[in-house]
Chains A and B, each alone.
Chain A
């Protein structure tokens, strides 16, 4: 989780990711951020986030992003 926080904080130092739970619904992250984020996550966790995974539910909070990473790592 710390690695993910580090990626997010580098991407958007202006956002408190520990408190925000509606990153997409509240418009905190937009499509530019998500595409940059996906590249970083793919590289850091050696996974492939597919286009079909680019849905708000997967990016609304740090927990949701971590759950997506874990799902993809376990091959679900």
Chain B
């Protein structure tokens, strides 16, 4: 496994693999590559018929691949778990082929998700009474990080570090619901790129579920969006999380045709 030192190296590695019908799960854009290379976290293995990028996520490797033919073999690091996500439109042959290829290499599918999209206009009006809804403050960074780490998958849940949570708080990207006890009953973490808003995390503490807290968090989130016909809101939901899926459908989200599977290889 070799470390990638600059963006031009990525380009020359990938160029012969950016072709139609090559299996890939690599959707990294240049700004992300630059950040990974700065952190000295990006490595690769290459053969004639496969290129695999490995992102060092401290406790595991995130895997991005290009496979030209399914007989390709590649050396995988053995020192920590490997995790990858394959995203696709449904009924895609390449999706099924890629899953079968990685399963043959010892990976196990462990999380299936669907992407849902809404516009502020398609969302149902939501009241916000009952809880105090505010943007989180910097003193809450640690507890928020712990709540997210406890509630979301360590490999595929985009669990942030405390400094990352602090940055989201500074950017006003985390809304919290506080009850009479002043405890955080729930939170909604979102991000934005151009006119698309991404809901990264929504969680309600187990003691405060079935009280409409998530709905109210969404109400607060939507009420803070700028007014524009072009805004859309996206989120990923686990296929087996029926309660969350029902909630999002009630709010006005619809499945938009993108699905993903997360695969893990633990040694």
Contacts and interface: CB of A to CB of B under 8 A. Distances in A.
Tell me the interface secondary structure of chain B in the complex: mixed
Contacts of A42: 18-20
Interface string B11-54: 10011101111101011111001000000000000000000000
Contacts, number: 56
Interface stretch (B96-104, B120-128, B191-199, B237-245): B191-199
Given A31-B29, A51-B33, A39 B22 contact: yes
Interface in A7-40: 24-27, 30-32, 34-35, 38-40
A55 to B, nearest CB: 6
Contacts of A51: 7, 10-11, 14, 30, 33
B230 A35 contact: no
A26 B194 contact: yes
A52 interface: yes
What interface size band does chain A fall in? Answer: 20 to 34
B18 A55 contact: no
Contacts of B258: 32
A47 to B, nearest CB: 10
A39 B87 contact: no
B27 A32 contact: yes
A27 B24 CA distance: 22
Contacts of B11: 50-52
B29 A50 contact: no
B71 interface: no
Contacts of B180: none
Nearest to B88: A32
